[in-house]
Amino acid sequence: MRGQAITRSLHALVLACLTLPFGGAALALPPQRVVSINLCTDQLAMLLAAPGQLISISRISHDPNVSVMLEEALAYPINYGQAEEVFRLEPDLVLASAFTSPHTVGLLSRLGIEVAQLPIASNLDDIPRNIREIGHLLGREAAAEELVGQFEADLAQIRAAQPGVRRAALHYANNYTSGVNSLAHEIITAAGFENVAAEAGLSGGGTLPMERLVMLMPDLVISGQPYPGASRSEEVLRHPAMVALRDRHAAGALADAEWVCGTPAVLRAIMRLVMLHDEG
Amino acid sequence: MGRALLAGLVGLVALLFTVSLLVGPAGLAPTEALLALIHGNGLAETLVMREIRLPRALLAVLVGSALGLAGAAMQGYLRNPLAEPGLIGVSGSAALGAVIALQTGFAAAHLLALPIAALTGAVVAVLIILALAGPRGGSITLILAGIAVSALAGALTALVLNLSPNPFAAAEIVFWMMGSLQDRSMIHFWIAAPFIALGALLLLTQGRKFDALTLGEDAAASMGVHLGRLRLTLVLGVASMVGAATAVAGAIGFVGLVVPHILRPLVGARPSALLPASALGGAVLVLMADIAVRVILPTRDLKLGVLTAIVGAPLFFHLIYKTRMQGQL
């Protein structure tokens, strides 16, 4: 991943040298019109960009269900992540995720637009890496270092506080949960809980039948937030067996927008879990 | 013969019901499972048995008997072995009613709104089918009307789910079209049970009239059968059962086709005997299908309609062929 990033930066440098008439030793200028088409790159770009540098963010950042930076996000125009509309914004850099549709990325690249794809954060150590990468792409290395420093200090403080004895389970729609090698697992373990899905041998995200989840008897059930409208997929969150599991302890928890992206917001998710841990 | 058959079917339902309680990914030993179910030994085991497996097994019996009985009753009234709630669009329309109730929030506001909306969808479909197919229920018009009703109901169900603000809803088209009992609860059992019991009561008491009808409408009328009243009872009974079953389990096809077809020769083709036998036979078939989906793919939600269609569609081909040979198509 880092290799790719360096190659990309080199490409940018070569391009910049070719287009600058008196280029020579001058480094590439930071991009002036940055468009982000992914929720997680939206957040890092909003945290790091210079005033006026970020001109559009993805529609999802205006969705209160998943956006941790809704207030800041409302100040930016939104895009729907389609190649045609992004091209018309005349960006000199597009920020996307590793999971952004390859069609969109390929089309934009063919149109001559620089697209940077940020890898998914699957553990807490990926967060400083991603912050630094966005900082580098935006030419905001100093701001990135400051944010990384703050994040690492806060994380160290939280981690110093906890011994892990109690067991927690993530429970989303369709009995989806997260095992080892996932950001959610790291959030749970950083807060001092054992993740029961990891006990069941799950790696990454996947489904665990409700029967098995009940048999694992977690002390804390962390549920996903239901969307508006109805779905059978989300009915499992209110299933009497899961309600009975949650009722054994006063506290339940909600895995919300703060769990979605590898940004410093995950610290708030960890802190809320730590508080539940201490109460129990 | 009839009594022995019913007793055998009851025994089979009891056996499969027990097996259904013992199958599941939690890996409970049979004695442990039954002790947890009956005495409540162990919190986790008790939750698994009483809140997850018991409603699933009960719903399989309930939904299966509803579909089997509804199929036998429609076939008795129309005197056509192809009349099946799933094939002629009654289940699909019930699913549409259920989906509308869920997505408008009506179902969340009133406990009985979900089965009532599904029942309404089913009533509309049965009325359309009866109007198009006529009292004699010719095979071609029956099947063509069924295709049209199914297609429209399926399309509208997909439309409603696609318009939902909920990102999971659109992916659930498969559930509504194929049916599943995964992760249902006792709440689902209790909202479906009264409607299915009412429908069963309405239909099981009409056996003698269906018997008379096998002699022809005129003969039945001369024997004192009020055809208009029988028709109304059929519409309400079928819609009530299929509506409630579909509201909680989705549209499970072919049960009402396969079960009466297998049992008909065993009861001497008498509708009055076929009705209760088909109710029990439907329970057997859905219990078997629901056990099979958990044995074949324990961690995935394989849909019941997949299995019933694999069993039922070849039989459907056979019935079409036989009907053609008899010159009725």
pLDDT mean across residues, chain B: 92
Q: Give the pLDDT band of residue B329 (cuts 50, 70, 90).
A: low
**Residues with Cβ < 8 Å from B71, sequence gap 6 or more?**
B83, B84, B85, B255, B256, B257, B259, B260, B278, B282
Fold held by A2-154: Rossmann fold (3.40.50)
Distance CA A243, CA A232 (A): 16
- When scoring A212, A221, A225, A231 by the number of chain B Cβ atoms within 10 A, the one with the most, hence best to mutate, is A231
pLDDT attached to residue B328: 58
Q: Which pLDDT belongs to residue A252?
A: 67
Domain boundaries, chain A: 2-154, 164-279
How close is the nearest chain B Cα to the Cα of A96, in Å? 21
pLDDT digits (tens, 9 = 90+) for A159-169: 876 666 789 99
What is the CATH T-level fold of the domain A164-279, as seen in this structure?
Rossmann fold (3.40.50)
Per CATH, the homologous superfamily of domain B56-290+303-325 is ABC transporter involved in vitamin B12 uptake, BtuC (1.10.3470.10)
Nearest to A217 among B44, B51, B169 (CB): B44
**Per-residue pLDDT tens over the stretch B15-51:** 999 999 999 998 899 999 999 999 998 889 999 999 9
Q: In whole angstroms, give the CA distance from residue A98 to residue A101.
A: 9
What pLDDT does B321 receive? 86
Is 80 exceeded by the pLDDT of residue B259? Answer: yes
Is residue A20 scored above 60 in pLDDT?
no
Q: Which residue from A69, A258, A228, A241 is spatially nearest to A171, judged by alpha carbons?
A: A241
**Is the per-residue pLDDT at A58 higher than 90?**
yes
Position B190 pLDDT exceeds 70: yes
Is-same-fold flag (A2-154; A164-279)? yes
Q: Please write the tens of the pLDDT for every residue from A111-134.
A: 999 999 999 999 999 999 999 999
Nearest residue in A to B166, CA atom? A229
Using the beta-carbon criterion (under 8 Å), do B48 and A241 form an inter-chain contact? yes
The complex's ipTM works out to 0.87
**B141 pLDDT band (50/70/90 cuts)?**
confident
Residue A261: CA atoms inside 13 Å, Cβ hemisphere, count? 24
- Statement: residue A4 has pLDDT above 70: no
Residue B325 has pLDDT above 90, yes or no: no
10 Å Cβ neighbour count for A173?
Answer: 21
Of chain A, the end-to-end C-alpha distance in Å amounts to 41
Amino acid at A70: L
- pLDDT confidence of residue A14: 46
Least confident piece of the model among A45-49, B62-66, B85-89: B85-89
A20-29, A245-254, A256-265, B119-128, range with the lowest pLDDT: A20-29
Asked if the model's pLDDT at residue A35 lies above 50, the reply is yes
Please list every residue in chain A whose beta carbon sits closer than 8 Å to the beta carbon of residue B44: 214-217
pTM assigned to the model? 0.86
Q: Which residues 147-206 of B are in CB contact (within 8 Å) with A?
A: 164-169, 171-172, 175, 183, 185-187
Q: Where are chain B's structural domains? A: 56-290+303-325
> DSSP string of B94-146?
HHHHHHHHHHTTHHHH-TTHHHHHHHHHHHHHHHHHHHHHTTTT-HHHHHHHH
- A120 contacts A143 by C-beta, under 8 angstroms: no
pLDDT value, residue B59: 98
Are B98 and B251 in contact by the 8 Å Cβ rule? The answer is no
pLDDT at A25: 36
A37-46, A204-213, B131-140: least confidently modelled range: B131-140
Kindly state the percentage of chain B with pLDDT values over 70. 98
Residues of A in contact with B179 (CB under 8 A): none
